[in-house]
Amino acid sequence: MYKAFITDIDGTLTDNRRRLSTKAVEEIRRLIDADIPVVLASGNTLCFLDCLSHMIGTDGNVIAENGGVYRKGFLGTRTVAGNKELCMRAYEKIRETVCPKEGELRLFSAELRHSDVAFSRDVSIEKVDEIIAGMGVIAVDTGFAIHLHTPGLSKGAAFEKLAAEMGISPSDFLAAGDSVNDVSMLKLAGFSVVPSNGTSDAKASASAVLDEPYGDAVAKALREFF
């Protein structure tokens, strides 16, 4: 039996319209009520995760910005890594190269981010990689946005540190994710699942690929494993 659960949100607890699975929420609440720790891990901002954690009912253990920010509990110390200023310089170079006349590549919650930069998927990841080559920044396409962060940051790296603060081994976690930014987290956990909508690299990194897509499939897995 696993002692804790760590999960991505978009595409894992939600569907392709970003609607949260109520079945997954019910199962996560069941874990919380049984004193089983839950960690929400996302490319989204810390304030978004705070709101979601409160509404789902978790204890506030979160990994935000794809590992650039993490925190144990709502009252814990926020840990921030990376170099947002460098990421912004890379974003500006991308914007100037791709759309100097057509307008902006839409930034997502730029003023609320501490570590990375996220923007709309209006340019291919291959083109982004070409533009930022040599700038000391990595680009990740999560399927919902393109993120820029400095090397060494990942959900898995933050997961390892957060688990240590929680006093739980990563091998005692069940993990769920669906995309390339979840791979490091999926590999580190004791057992990991990916819904059928997951990307090929996420599926290749998982212990099991679920028969169904999105959050309802994860809810079913939680009933089985916990």
122 among known catalytic residues: no
Q: Among 8, 116, 141, 182, which one carries the catalytic annotation?
A: 8
SS3 (DSSP) at 64: strand
Q: Do 46 and 60 touch, CB atoms closer than 8 A?
A: no
> How would DSSP label each residue in 141-191?
E-SS-EEEE-TT--HHHHHHHHHHHHT--GGGEEEE--SGGGHHHHHHSSE
The Cα-based distances of 3 to 30, 49, 169 in angstroms read 13, 22, 9
Give the number of C-alpha atoms closer than 13 A to the C-alpha of residue 133, restricted to the C-beta side.
5
Using CB atoms within 10 A of its CB, is residue 1 exposed (0-12), middle (13-18) or buried (19+)?
exposed
Residues with catalytic roles:
8
